[in-house]
Amino acid sequence: MGDYYSSDEERYYCDDDDDQDASDGLPDLETEVSLPSTKSPSSEVITKESLLIAQRGDLRRIMDVLSLKEHHARTLLIHYRWDVDKVIAVFVEKGKDKLYAAAGVTVLEHDNLSSELSSTVMCLICMEEVSASDVTTMDCGHHFCNTCWTEHFIVKINEGLSRRIRCMAHQCYAICDEAKIRSLVSARDPNLSEKFDRFLLESYIEDNKQVKWCPSVPHCGNAIRMKYDELCEVECTCGLQFCFSCLSEAHSPCSCLMWELWTKKCHDESETVNWMTVHTKPCPKCHKLVEKSGGCNLVCCICGQAFCWLCGGPTGREHTWTSISGHSCGQYKEDQEKKTERAKRDLLRYIHFHNSFKAHTDSFQREAELKETIQEKISILEDNQSTFKDFSWVTNGLCRLFRSRRVLSYSYPFAYYMFGDDLFKHEMTKKEKEIKQNLFEEQQQQLHANVEKLSLFIGEPFDKYPENKVEELRMKVINLSVMIDGICRKLYECIENDLLGSIQHAHHSIAPYMSMGVEKASELSICRENEA
Return the active site residues: 296
CA distance 396 to 398: 5
The radius of gyration computed from the CA coordinates of the chain, to the nearest angstrom, equals 32
The helix (H) or strand (E) run that includes residue 103 is helix 84-103
DSSP code for 379: H
CA distance 509 to 495: 9
Q: Phi and psi at residue 235, in whole multiples of 5°? A: -120, 125
**CB within 8 A of 529, min separation 6: which ones?**
50, 53, 54, 56, 57
CA distance 181 to 163: 11
Q: At what angle do helices 392-418 and 430-458 cross, to 10 degrees?
A: 160
Residue pair 402/364 in contact by the 8 Å Cβ criterion: yes
**CB within 8 A of 70, min separation 6: which ones?**
59, 63
3-state secondary structure 352-370: HHHHHHHHHHHHHHHHHCH
What is the SS3 assignment for 306? strand
CA distance 283 to 314: 8
Nearest alpha-carbon partner for 325 in 300, 353, 293: 300
- Tell how strand 233-235 and strand 519-520 pair up: parallel
What is the SS3 assignment for 24? coil
How far is CA 518 from its chain centroid?
14
Residue pair 256/507 in contact by the 8 Å Cβ criterion: no
